[in-house]
Structure 1
Amino acid sequence: MGTQGLKSKIASGFLSLRGSPRDLYIIFVLKVLESYNYFSLSRLFVLYLTEDFGISDLTAGTLYGVWGMLLTAYGFFLGGAIDFLGVKRSLVVCFALNILSRLAMAMTSTRWVLLVSLLGPNTVAGAMGVPVMTIGVKRYTNTLNRGFAFSLFYTLMNVAALSQGVLMDFFRIRWKHGFDVPSLSGKSLLNNGNRLFLASGCVTSLLGLGLTYLLSTAPVEVAEPGAAQRLPSSDSVVDQEADPLVKGPPVGQEASKLGQLWVAVRNVALSTEFVKYLFMCIITVNLKSVFRYLDAMLPKYQLRAFGCDAAIGLIYSINPLTIVFLVPVVGAMTTGFQHFDMIHMGSYLSALSPLWLVLWQEEWAAALFVLTLSLGEAVWSPRWYDYSMAVAPTGREGVFTALASAPLFVAMLPTGMLSGYLLDRYCPDNGACGDVSKGKASVKPETGEQTCHGSAMWGLVTLLTLTHAYRLSFLPQKWVRPAPETGEARDASSHPGECMDFNEADPLLLVENVSQTVVAPRRRGVE
């Protein structure tokens, strides 16, 4: 497909959204606001814990892993609450919890208040927002425009990631001391760039809360092409029950729903396709975990190796910027390639990306690391979704992908711990930045016995990721490559296409996978 074909495809996608309910566009805006909340916290997480609360690298990395695991776990267990509350009320709870918890985290100087707010209401808010917005997109689209709507949905997520990177550097470098009120301490909200950046999520949440009240409470009708009737779309998922999938008690009974879910989970877990896919997930888990080092290890490394004014956010922004523009192009140019082959080729690009920091300890090398990682992601990440849909049993895609997310879920904690250990061992805090909030930071790292051995640290990361990419080359592909007949295109309602980036290594998307196992059986008839 050439450039004109790509433009035509994008134009037809936007045209397919004509006549969509107003609520769909509100959901798109809410996606940007909530994604900003997630990415701003994710990037600041370990820095805030260490710089403002004196938490060690190892403990901060461990807490980062715990946060990711809790985000996913809450997403699973809150499925019933989302069903009961519906889209609008769930989003109200989401944004309200985010406002309160962020204010507490930004204003407190007590560790236990920070950790309770962070791992409690703030994580619950994130776990509720992701699946609810996914339900909203499915509700306000039909089978013809749903694929493009989801592509746009995830593109907007990357736009939010891009914007937070730019704002992070503004708050940390240009507005390091905030309003610099003489009567307040350097660790107060108004005099601290980190705290103001964290509190910026309160502003986006306030906007989100206001927009949420514009969502319709009355049923919204979305016409299916060629259908003689319209599908109801109301505020509560409970109102949308369809005919039961199996004979027996009504779907409205909780025992029946849980029974259907258990049967689906058992059947999928015992299938040959799932065993193959799970094996594929296990051997690539370290490859996908390299994205977590962008949050848990790279920011601290940049400060300690390049100085306190290192452009942390700007370098990170290379990733979403590359993904937004490159994924549609790569998807259009590689439609003739098998998804497994694209995963194989892209995995080597991502696995080799830390090599830049092994060879050169320079800021431009950090930028090339993120760029190379992003190029690999643009190649393999969208096609991973294709691969998972090709091997998943028809009608059980949600259960299948959620179960297969288990290795990444389990790997979050050791990945966070490893990042903290590597920093503490090879690139410890040399005191160069001092207390940034009080203006004692130096522009360049101090020279002395405590130095940052970045080559050794990133060399270990490269070995971990490259080993798993290497295994794909020598693995008997009949074990993991789906049979040709199972790779046929699926319906657009469940297959957003090769132009969508779906990096399930990100907890934000992992929680979406897991949450679908709980809410999917309750709304199967309206998708």
Structure 2
Amino acid sequence: MTAAGAALRSVRQQLADGFSTLRGSPRELYLIFALQVLEAFNYFAFSLLIPLYLTAEFGISDFQAGTYYGLWGTLLVAYGILFSGLIDLLGVRGSLVLCYLVSIVGRYVVAATHSKTTLLLSWLGPVTIAGSLGTPVLTIGIKRYTTPTSRGFAFSLFYSCMNIAGLGCGVVLDFFRVRLRHGFNIASLPADSLLNDGSRLLLASTSVASVLALMISLALRESAALPAAAAPEPKRGGQDVAETRKPLLAGQRAEEEVCVHADGTGAAAHLITAPAQPTQLTLVNFFSELGVVMASRETWKYLVMCVLTVNLKQIFRHVDATMPKFLIRMFGCDAPVGIIYGINPFIIIFLVPVVGALFTRVQHFDMIHYGSYLSALSPFWLVAFPQEWAAVAFVVTLSLGESVWSPRWYDYSMSLAPEGREGLFTALASAPLFAAKLPTGMLSGKLLQDFCPDTAPCGAAERGAGSGGTGTCDARALWGVIGAITATSPLLILVLQRWVRPAPAPSLPLHSADGPDGRAGAPTASEADHDPATVAPPRPRSALAIPVHDLIEDEAAVEGVLAWEEAHRQAPR
């Protein structure tokens, strides 16, 4: 109890310190937080509902729906990298305005159309392109509208907004899917029209959210006065930590100036100026840098670790895509899909700070290893007890494990990143997870089709009001396969840990800049020796640090490429 009390006091102090760093921040920072809630809501709504929607409304088989779902995850990363140059061209405000204009139209088409072809073209085209740019651009906005002192805590709140949106989306999902299953029941409209179908209404609500996001984006300013830092950040290795916290893109670089405020006080402030002119990048530069990164033994350590944990991370895709269909088919149309899903973000929001404070002195590799056992064992609740309460126990256990291992993943990755090339390293390290998205979606569909077929559909207007819950689901086989695949991750880490474990740090500990409380996601000591232009995007340095989610992993892949581009734009020609 003493340790828990100390952890809670540490969390409270970190929160107080963190919020104090945000004093005087421009309104744009809080607008970015609001945009993140809306963007994450749109992501979670599609992630949870689309597999159900494809099957119930369009008669698409589970296997095909799972394949399309996996393709969606793959395209989110591919489009983000392909269209990343638009961010330099348009800036933060322009990129967001374009993103949400496309999103409004695309999401409405997905909600309203009765053509399978139109649905797929709109979803995998405009909607996915807009989604691939949203979070990376917002991340750049956080860098632009914060000072080095406030940036770490701002990122923590940014990722907390994602989990708040996930929690809210679960509640909203059940409301539309159960309470408004048949929409507004307007007799003059077809039963399968947008206004008479709860699933279509929920998808349409994401278009409304995009309208709100567009209005907020129009209120953003490309230039904003920031308060001068109250005190310099601690030094490590003779270099200011603040010097390693410059924004990612050349087009978004913060040029610090002293400006005179409208009241004539002449108070010192940081002014974000207009985007700088980008320089030309070549494939020769890219492959040259890639060769250097691949020559590092530490790179291969991390790539192997990424491969080992792919199955562990993909269990969250099964929570999004497999769990909703399973719950409805096993326990009936009124199964609390959203409530059960919302347990995960709820636990993460409140438990991660406490776990981070309690286990600050435990090596990040050990936290990943031990925490992965909890997450990997979670599906076996449904194998042993195919009951509704076991689904709750599954998500609780999964979340407990996630709160242990996931926040320390960034520490592990940066302890192995080659100095000065963290951006390219981050993008390269996302390759295994990127490659696994499509197979995971296909596996989800195949398992549902074989072990939990859709024999009594509910909620689809054209098929009548089925009762669901036919009892034909073989929960033990379905979740036994998923559990066995997931369990390979911690077991392989156990076998190969001597090789993939990072070498002991030669100098400062990982959390030296943050004191003994060891705030989750603290930057590694080696960052201080890097060229500021090439340091990977800063991650949360406070008790609110949020675990890795697929949405963050996708954004990290895009940011990694942008970081490499930034390094070469700033290099002397």
Common fold by TM > 0.5: yes
In structure 2, the residue matched to 1:202 is 207
In structure 2, the residue matched to 1:513 is 556
The amino acid that maps onto 1:24 is: L
Post-superposition offset of 1:497: 3.3
Q: Distance in 2 between matches of 1:322 and 1:253?
A: 45
In structure 1, the residue matched to 2:442 is 417
Q: Distance in 2 between matches of 1:259 and 1:18?
A: 45
Which of 94, 98, 103 is the aligned partner of 2:103? 98
Which of 463, 473, 480 is the aligned partner of 2:501? 480
Task: Tell me if structure 1 keeps the 8 A contact 2:177–2:459.
Answer: no
Task: Tell me if structure 2 keeps the 8 A contact 1:284–1:468.
Answer: yes
Which of 372, 380, 388 is the aligned partner of 1:355? 380
Q: Distance in 2 between matches of 1:116 and 1:142?
A: 41
TM-score (ref. length: structure 2): 0.84
Matches within 5 A, 1:3-18: 3-18=8-23
Aligned CA distance change for structure 1 residues 505 and 405 (closer, same or farther; 3 Å):
farther
Q: Distance in 2 between matches of 1:56 and 1:444?
A: 17
The amino acid that maps onto 2:13 is: S
Q: Distance in 1 between matches of 2:355 and 2:110?
A: 41
Deviation larger for 490-499 or 362-371: 490-499
In structure 1, the residue matched to 2:125 is 120
The amino acid that maps onto 1:483 is: P
Post-superposition offset of 1:254: 1.1
In structure 2, the residue matched to 1:405 is 430
Helix, strand or coil: the match of 1:255? coil
Post-superposition offset of 1:511: 2.2
Which of 366, 370, 375 is the aligned partner of 2:395? 370
The amino acid that maps onto 1:254 is: Q
In structure 2, the residue matched to 1:326 is 351
The amino acid that maps onto 1:67 is: W
Q: Distance in 2 between matches of 1:356 and 1:498?
A: 33
Q: Distance in 2 between matches of 1:259 and 1:10?
A: 46
Post-superposition offset of 1:106: 0.7
The amino acid that maps onto 2:541 is: G
In structure 2, the residue matched to 1:246 is none
In structure 2, the residue matched to 1:387 is 412
The amino acid that maps onto 1:255 is: L
Post-superposition offset of 1:142: 2.1
In structure 2, the residue matched to 1:238 is 251
Task: Tell me if structure 2 keeps the 8 A contact 1:241–1:251.
Answer: no
The amino acid that maps onto 1:441 is: A
Helix, strand or coil: the match of 1:485? coil
Helix, strand or coil: the match of 1:68? helix
Q: Distance in 2 between matches of 1:467 and 1:283?
A: 8
The amino acid that maps onto 2:72 is: W
Post-superposition offset of 1:187: 1.2
Helix, strand or coil: the match of 2:281? helix
Post-superposition offset of 1:389: 1.4
Is 1:445 the equivalent of 2:469? yes
Is 1:253 the equivalent of 2:279? yes
Helix, strand or coil: the match of 1:381? helix
Q: Distance in 2 between matches of 1:405 and 1:239?
A: 24
Task: Tell me if structure 1 keeps the 8 A contact 2:11–2:543.
Answer: no
Is 1:345 the equivalent of 2:370? yes
Q: Distance in 1 between matches of 2:21 and 2:553?
A: 28
Deviations 1:334-378 (A, max 9, x none): 101000110011100000000111011111111111111011000
In structure 1, the residue matched to 2:238 is none
Gaps of at least 5 residues in structure 1 are 243-249
Is 1:269 the equivalent of 2:313? no
Post-superposition offset of 1:442: 4.0
Task: Tell me if structure 2 keeps the 8 A contact 1:398–1:513.
Answer: no
Task: Tell me if structure 1 keeps the 8 A contact 2:353–2:543.
Answer: yes
TM-score (ref. length: structure 1): 0.91
Which of 49, 54, 77 is the aligned partner of 2:59? 54
Deviations 1:76-117 (A, max 9, x none): 111111111110011011111111011101110000100000
Post-superposition offset of 1:269: 2.2
Q: Distance in 1 between matches of 2:252 and 2:356?
A: 38
Q: Distance in 2 between matches of 1:475 and 1:238?
A: 42
Post-superposition offset of 1:139: 1.2
Q: Distance in 1 between matches of 2:215 and 2:541?
A: 33
Post-superposition offset of 1:386: 1.1
Post-superposition offset of 1:438: 5.3
Quote the sequence identity (%).
Answer: 49
Q: Distance in 2 between matches of 1:384 and 1:299?
A: 28
Deviation larger for 420-429 or 390-399: 390-399
Post-superposition offset of 1:173: 0.3
Deviation larger for 15-24 or 57-66: 15-24
Post-superposition offset of 1:27: 0.4
Q: Distance in 2 between matches of 1:354 and 1:364?
A: 13
Post-superposition offset of 1:394: 3.4
Aligned CA distance change for structure 1 residues 17 and 167 (closer, same or farther; 3 Å):
same
The amino acid that maps onto 1:179 is: F
Q: Distance in 2 between matches of 1:63 and 1:379?
A: 32
> How many residues in Structure 1 have an aligned counterpart in Structure 2?
511
